[in-house]
C-alpha cells in the first residue's frame, strides 16, 4: 500500500491530516479526509481515483485555490495552512511557486504562444522584453519555438499543450499540478507530454502531481496515489 | 435651439453609456474562463480591472475619433450646420472617457466575482 506519506528529502508538497468538506448536516460531503501526502523535489506522482473521489478538491487545495478545514500544508518549505491560520499571500504562491496544466490547454485565445507564456512572467514583475525573450527560450526548450507567433486556435492539440506546459514553467515553479494533461491527446503525444513532465521534474527539481485516468502512462510515474471517497487508499 | 441641442446631447450620451456598458459587459462575460485562468496563475484583481478599463477606454477613444472624422467628412453635405469649437471637442472627449469608466463598472463587478477555480471547470 502507498498512503502517499513518505520521508522525502527536499519535500515540495507536504500535507498532514488535510480535510475538507462541503455543506452541513444532511447535505455534508467530506471531499477530503485526513490526507497525508508528501511529494519531493524531482518526483512525478500520478493521482488516480474515480470521478467525485476528491481529486479536483485536492488539486484546488494544493493549488491554493481552495482552503482546507483541518490539518496543515506546506509548499516548498512555506507553511500555507495550519488549522486556524491561512497564509494571506496565496496569490503570490500561485504565481511564483506553482505551475498549472489543464486538460484543455486554457491558453488565452487572443494572445499568441509567446505572449501566453510571457504574460505570466510579466505578472511576476519581468519587463515585457525580458519576458518575451525568456518565453521564447522556454518554447524552444519544449520544441515548439517554431510556433511562437501562432494563436491557440491555429495550433494542434499537442502544440497547444506544450505551450501550456511552457506557461506552467514560466516562473520556474517548484510545484507543477497537471489535471489530466494527456486526456485530449493520442497515445504517442501523451507519451511526449509525459516525457516533458519527467524531464521538467528532473531538470527543475520540481514536484509534479498529475491527475490521470490514462492507464497507458501509469508506468511513467515514480509513484501512484489513489483517492476514493476523499481518502488516500492502496494503489 | 441651444437647449434642444443640449437635451439631444444628454440623451445621446446616456444611450451611448448604456450601449458601451452592455458591449464591455458582453465582451467580459465571453472571457470569464480566461479571467479565471489569469487569476489562477496569479493575476490580481487590480490587473484584471486594468485590462477591462483599458478595453473600455480603447473602444471609447476609437469611437470618439471615428465620430469626429465622420462628422468632419459629412458636415458639408448638410444645409444647416452647428459650429463645434475645439473647446467643445475637448469637453466631449473628457465626457467620453468618463462615460467609458462608468460603463466598465458592470463588467468589473462581474470579473472580480470570478473564482480562480473556474479555470479548471470543464
- The pLDDT of B7-20, averaged and rounded, is 86
Q: How far apart are CA A12 and CA A174, in angstroms?
A: 7
DSSP β-ladder status, A223-228 and A44-48? parallel
Q: How far apart are CA A56 and CA A99, in angstroms?
A: 15
* Interchain CB distance below 8 Å, A106 and B119: yes
Report if residue B42 sits inside a domain: yes
How large is the ipTM? 0.83
The pLDDT value recorded for residue B121 is: 66
| Pairing mode of beta strands A231-233, A223-228 | antiparallel
Residues of B whose CB is below 8 A from A61: none
Across the A/B interface, how many CB contacts are shorter than 8 Å? Answer: 47
Please indicate, yes or no, if residue B48 is contained in any of the structural domains.
Answer: yes
| Contact between B42 and A100 using a beta-carbon 8 Å cutoff | no
Domain assignment present for residue B18? The answer is no
Q: What are phi and psi of A65, to 5 degrees?
A: -100, -30
Residue B92 located in a structural domain:
yes
Chain B residue with the nearest C-alpha to that of A91: B42
Mean pLDDT value of segment A196-205: 89
Is residue B8 domain-resident? no
Q: Give the pLDDT confidence of A120-156 residue by residue, as tens digits.
A: 999 999 999 999 999 999 999 888 999 999 999 999 9
pLDDT confidence of residue B83: 80
Cα–Cα distance between A63 and B40 in angstroms, integer? 8
Average pLDDT over residues A83-88: 80
Instruction: Report angle CA A40, A45, A47 to the nearest 5 degrees.
Output: 135
Judge: A108–B38 Cβ closer than 8 Å, yes or no.
yes
Selected residue with higher pLDDT from B80 and A235 = B80
In which domain, by residue range, is B87 found?
Answer: 23-115
* Residues B40, A66: C-beta atoms closer than 8 Å: no
Half-sphere exposure of A3 (CA within 13 A, CB side): 11
Q: Which residue of A has its CA nearest to B34?
A: A108
How many domains, in total, are found in chain B? 1
* pLDDT tier at A3, thresholds 50, 70, 90: very low
**Residue owning grid cell 485530449:** A184
Quick check: is B6 in a domain?
no
What is the band of A1 on the pLDDT scale with cuts at 50, 70, 90? very low
| B116, closest residue in chain A (CA to CA) | A65
pLDDT tens-digit readout, B48-59? 999 999 999 999
- pTM attached to this predicted model: 0.83
The set of cell numbers assigned to A78 is 512555506
Amino acid at each position: 500500500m502507498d498512503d502517499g506519506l513518505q520521508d522525502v528529502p527536499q519535500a515540495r508538497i507536504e500535507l498532514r491530516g488535510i480535510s475538507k468538506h462541503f455543506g452541513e448536516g444532511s447535505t455534508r460531503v467530506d471531499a477530503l479526509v485526513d490526507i497525508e501526502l508528501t511529494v519531493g523535489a524531482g518526483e512525478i506522482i500520478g493521482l488516480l481515483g474515480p470521478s467525485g473521489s476528491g481529486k479536483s478538491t485536492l488539486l484546488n487545495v494544493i493549488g491554493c485555490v481552495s482552503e482546507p478545514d483541518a490539518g496543515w500544508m506546506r509548499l516548498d518549505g512555506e507553511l500555507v495552512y495550519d488549522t486556524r491560520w491561512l497564509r494571506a499571500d496565496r496569490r503570490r504562491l500561485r504565481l511564483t511557486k506553482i505551475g498549472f496544466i489543464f486538460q484543455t490547454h486554457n491558453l488565452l485565445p487572443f494572445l499568441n504562444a509567446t505572449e501566453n507564456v510571457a504574460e505570466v512572467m510579466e505578472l511576476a514583475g519581468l519587463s515585457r522584453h525580458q519576458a518575451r525573450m525568456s518565453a521564447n527560450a522556454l518554447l524552444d526548450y519544449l520544441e515548439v519555438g517554431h510556433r511562437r507567433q501562432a494563436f491557440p486556435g491555429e495550433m494542434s492539440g499537442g502544440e497547444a499543450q506544450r505551450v501550456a506546459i511552457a506557461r506552467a514553467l514560466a516562473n520556474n515553479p517548484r510545484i507543477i499540478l497537471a489535471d489530466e494533461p494527456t486526456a485530449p491527446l493520442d497515445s504517442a503525444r501523451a507519451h511526449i507530454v509525459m516525457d516533458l513532465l519527467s524531464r521538467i521534474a528532473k531538470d527543475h527539481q520540481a514536484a509534479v502531481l498529475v491527475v490521470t485516468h490514462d492507464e497507458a502512462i501509469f508506468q511513467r510515474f515514480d509513484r501512484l496515489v489513489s483517492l476514493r471517497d476523499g481518502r488516500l487508499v492502496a494503489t | 435651439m441651444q437647449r434642444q441641442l443640449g437635451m439631444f446631447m444628454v440623451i445621446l450620451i446616456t444611450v451611448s453609456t448604456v450601449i458601451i456598458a452592455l458591449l464591455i459587459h458582453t465582451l467580459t462575460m465571453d472571457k470569464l474562463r480566461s479571467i479565471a485562468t489569469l487569476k489562477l496563475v496569479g493575476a490580481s484583481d487590480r490587473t484584471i480591472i486594468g485590462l477591462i478599463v483599458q478595453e473600455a477606454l480603447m473602444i471609447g477613444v476609437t469611437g470618439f475619433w471615428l465620430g469626429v472624422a465622420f462628422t468632419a467628412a459629412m458636415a458639408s453635405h448638410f444645409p444647416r450646420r452647428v459650429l463645434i469649437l475645439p473647446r467643445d471637442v475637448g469637453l466631449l472627449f473628457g465626457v467620453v472617457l468618463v462615460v467609458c469608466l462608468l460603463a466598465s463598472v458592470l463588467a468589473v463587478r462581474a470579473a472580480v466575482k470570478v473564482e480562480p477555480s473556474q479555470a479548471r471547470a470543464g
